[in-house]
Structure 1
Amino acid sequence: MKRLFAGGLAAALLTLASTASAALLSFTDRGAFEAALSNITVDDMNTGLPQSGQSSITRPDFVLTGATFGCQTSGCGYNSSKGFTYPGYVWFYTGGQTFGFNGPVYGFGFDYAVPIGYTPATFTLQGLTAPTGDGFFGVVSDVPLTQISMSISGGDRYMIGDNFTYGRGPAIQGPAPVPLPPALPALAAGLGLLALTARRTSRV
């Protein structure tokens, strides 16, 4: 029983140490974001975008679910002064969007802005908050992801997005594993328990 307990505890500690190393980095500079990834794709939304309010939009590599509007005509207003012209870009509202990919990605980001005439809102990707206003925002992970969550809060809860960019390859300059130092004792303890368990077993 003691050997089983020690082995289970060791496995749990090793799992804790490995999962704790996962980390995310946020980027507000598109160039730096793309430099941190490989096998990059940019979806400019210029074709195949529905011109109406949608609960989901299907793209070649991902499905966007949540309250959205395809901006193919002037139905979204005139935001060209912010660099958003139709066709096409996406209007987000009320928050709670999800990007579900057909394969793993290591990073995702896009150009965003507050639509003309609306109060700025705040949005997050995978829990990381973008600066309020207009710009670029992306996140890079050191483990593959197949789903990216987005939320919008504050202001009028409206925003527009374009040039959705994602990297299929591992990060070239991956984010530092922030939680790793606290996990090192757990890793050492797990390895020690495994060694002790193996030694006791060999004596039987």
Structure 2
Amino acid sequence: HNGILILDEAPEFRRSVLQGLREPLEKGMVRLIRAERRYWYPADIQLVMTANACPCGNNGALGRRCLCSLSEIHNYRKRLGAALLDRVEIRVWQAEEHFTGQTVRDIGQGVLQGTSTSGPAASVDEGSSEVMLTRVHAAVARQEIRYQEFAFSRNGRVPGAVLRRVVDATTAAEGVLHSAVPKLGLSSRAVDAILRVARTIADIDGDDRVCSSAMMEAIQLRRDDREPR
């Protein structure tokens, strides 16, 4: 509770284990049934999952040959399940060929314009750890002020009914999101997740409003459409 749960090689976990994460991710609680009794415990977690791009681990890697068939790769990726993946708000592909010097925002611009050929960048140079820590502390303070009248204090906990009132996106940013919805087939849950991430990016940048570049970055961090090679 109030910690980080890391699942290394997440597709290798049993399906029942993975699907059991949906409830705590959704409600911040875990339910246990013992001797016909139900018990609820707090389980507000930050979930981090890692996975290879394929069973052998070589798909997309430079200088190594993938031995998996397309069906094996698709079945491997399906192990996580669509319902669980829909609750994962940030997805990042890490591969050698993505080290291009581009930022996530650069690639996000290309995605919406149809000119990008790569996934999220592996190198986003936003300064030293000390500088980023200062920006995160400032972002947290902004959120605590924004939500002082609510029962929550972080963007990640804003319910959908309140979300659109507090995001405060520019007209250009709203246009970026509306354009991405049909293009990427985004669900309402995905749209809510993008808005939360975009609001957080704006807070880290010290912006009162969510601009189009923050929205594009949030959309890019939501994408999960890398094709097997």
TM-score (norm 1): 0.26
Could you say which structure has the higher helix fraction?
A: 2
Could you say which structure has the higher strand fraction?
A: 1
Greater RCO between the two (CA within 8 Å, min separation 6)?
Answer: 1
Q: From the CA coordinates, give the structure whose radius of gyration is larger.
A: 1
TM-score (norm 2): 0.24
